[in-house]
């Protein structure tokens, strides 16, 4: 599933073609994805101006001139691509429709934004822009890791007394938004912390050090266009490239990249998810 860097990469790719532009016509080609679409979704979207595109955790939020906000979740295989962009950033010709093009936005500037989702684990919803943060999918999400509210004090307080592994704690969206398996593995490696360590047993200074490390890992991934492991594509159809920079994720049995280490990277399963780490460098 796309994590924060992949979703942010898509948001940035969509913004030039959507922000400040009218949705001339929205086409909804099926009644549902992960759950049913809102009533009259195509009608409610058509003719509205996209005031801005935002991201909250792993969700894209499109604020509309109608006073509603379109919530978009890519799911496991969802991707949003742009064609016919008048700014010349993408291909000029609209491609032929594909089987899994479930929602299509024809923009007044000539761009076409297509939501394609073969596995249909993605989702869309319409909610009032005022009070958007109370939506059931957003209400309990913690601070954005790239925002000012994600601080050392916050993470230290969140870890206090927790008997769960630090890997599980960082995957808890109530503690920090948008982190997933890939970037937690990479951040813990950079921090020298084993994924099996109990969150509440880690010294405060080591917990505090994770805040800038997490930010840097995410920023590095965004600059690389995210990580393409299976289905992820950027809005222009290109792959992300951060997977070529992984220190531990997916590298089971390969030597650690730390100078003078070379210990084989180990994989364990925690709560049904693979954790990759160096048993020598991470304690």
Query: Which residues are catalytic, by number?
Result: 2-3, 58, 273
Judge whether 271 and 248 are in contact, CB under 8 Å: no
Q: Quick one: how far is CA 30 from the chain centroid?
A: 24
Rg (CA), the chain: 20
Residue 270's SS3 state is: strand
Residue from 10, 29, 15 nearest 107 by CA: 15
Judge whether 117 and 79 are in contact, CB under 8 Å: yes
Question: What are the contacts of 130-137 at 24+ separation with CB within 8 A?
Answer: 130/67, 132/61, 132/69, 133/56, 135/71, 137/59, 137/71, 137/73
């Amino acid at each position: 599933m796309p994590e924060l860097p992949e979703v942010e990469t898509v948001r940035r790719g969509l913004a030039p073609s959507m922000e400040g532009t009218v949705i001339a016509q929205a086409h909804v080609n099926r009644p549902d994805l992960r759950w049913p679409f809102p009533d009259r979704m195509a009608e409610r979207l058509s003719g509205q101006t996209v005031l801005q595109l935002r991201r909250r955790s792993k969700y894209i939020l499109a604020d509309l001139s109608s006073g509603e906000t379109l919530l978009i979740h890519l799911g496991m295989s969802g991707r949003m691509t742009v064609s016919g962009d008048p700014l010349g950033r993408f291909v000029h010709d609209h491609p032929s429709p594909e089987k899994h093009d479930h929602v299509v936005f024809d923009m007044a500037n000539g761009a076409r934004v297509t939501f394609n989702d073969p596995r249909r684990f993605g989702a869309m919803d319409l909610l009032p822009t005022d009070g958007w943060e109370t939506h059931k999918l957003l209400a309990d999400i913690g601070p954005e890791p790239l925002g000012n509210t994600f601080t050392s004090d916050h993470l230290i307080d969140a870890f206090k007394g927790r008997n769960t592994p630090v890997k599980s704690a960082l995957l808890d969206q109530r503690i920090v938004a948008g982190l997933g398996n890939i970037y937690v593995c990479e951040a813990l490696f950079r921090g020298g912390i084993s994924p099996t360590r109990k969150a509440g047993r880690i010294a405060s200074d080591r917990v505090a050090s994770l805040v800038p490390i997490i930010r840097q890992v995410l920023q590095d991934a965004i600059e690389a266009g995210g990580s393409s492991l299976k289905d992820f594509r950027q809005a222009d159809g290109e792959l992300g490239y951060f997977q070529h920079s992984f220190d531990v994720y997916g590298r089971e049995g390969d030597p650690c990249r730390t100078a003078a280490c070379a210990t084989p990277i180990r994989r364990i399963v925690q709560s049904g998810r693979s954790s990759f780490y160096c048993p020598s460098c991470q304690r």
